[in-house]
Amino acid sequence: MPKPIFVSFFTDDEPYRTTVKRLEKSLISLKADFYIEKINSVESWIEVASKKASFILQMMEQERRPVCWIDADAKLLNIPHYLNSFEYDFAVMRREGWNFWSAQVVFGNTESAKKILQRWLDYSQNFPYIFDQATLGYAFWDVSLETDVNSFWIPEESAVKRKYFFDERLYSLKSKVNSGIPTFYQHQSSREAKSSLSKRSSVEFNSMDLPLWWRMAMQKMDLFPLTDHQKIEIGIQGEKYRRKTPNVS
């Protein structure tokens, strides 16, 4: 199967205007195929994140090959072996075995992958106050109950988050020495973005809000149809996290 194309988007404001240049430089240095698009700024950073699924689906339909999303505030340290010939429907990191890491996620050009993307898109559009990490997990859960999903679980040590201003070069060196581990370096600019936006949603559901039963089931891959009460617990039943429809008088 063909190598994936790396895709991302960014808003034309800081810090992403700066970090995306690092991402682009890293992709060029690795001779990777990529496409990065500038999008309009919005009031809430979770609204930006909710656009991932539609953008990735659009790129897959356009490219007709696997697509690897990488956040605009990350950089690629190397191209891992599983991307040299991507033979899966879906690849993602599950931190602690349950927390889907949507900063880097890969979709094969397959029917199962498209089903996950479409379900992720549906959740993102209908529940924009639920973080994209959680809704990606919801989409995988749903589709796994309907069909076989050939998944690759990206090792947790493949991605590192920025802690200190000097650690980017350190991890780049480690990647060269340790056979490509780590692979992704995350600047975590969303923290800066959240503080810079003048308006933020007072209603947010992130992956740390997921209940214990969800985490345990995902760790064991023991997935099951959800009850109405369980759907309420993860925010997909009721109006709290649902998109607000403007009143028409």
Burial class (CB in 10 A: 0-12, 13-18, 19+), 147: exposed
Average pLDDT in the chain: 84
Task: Kindly give, in sequence order, each residue whose CB lies less than 8 Å from that of residue 234, ignoring residues fewer than 6 positions away.
Answer: 134, 138, 205, 210, 211, 214, 226
Asked whether residue 3 carries a pLDDT value surpassing 70, the answer given is: yes
Q: Cα separation of 189 and 15, whole Å?
A: 6
Q: What is the pLDDT of residues 54-103, one digit of tens each?
A: 999 999 999 999 999 999 999 999 998 899 889 999 999 999 999 999 99
Q: Cα separation of 169 and 192, whole Å?
A: 21
Q: Which residue has the higher pLDDT, 76 or 183?
A: 76
Among all chains, which residue has been given the structure tokens 């007709």?
A: 64
Q: Cα separation of 217 and 164, whole Å?
A: 34
Q: Cα separation of 137 and 235, whole Å?
A: 13
Q: What average pLDDT score do residues 226-247 get?
A: 88
Q: Cα separation of 90 and 92, whole Å?
A: 7
Q: What is the pLDDT of residue 197?
A: 45
| Domains of the chain as residue ranges with CATH | 5-233 (3.90.550.10)
Res. 106 pLDDT band, cuts 50 70 90? very high
Encode 40-69 in three state secondary structure: CCCCCHHHHHCCHHHHHHHHHHHHCCCEEE
**Do the beta carbons of residue 153 and residue 91 sit within 8 Å?**
yes
Q: Residue 204 in 3-state DSSP?
A: coil
Query: What's the predicted TM-score (pTM) here?
Result: 0.85
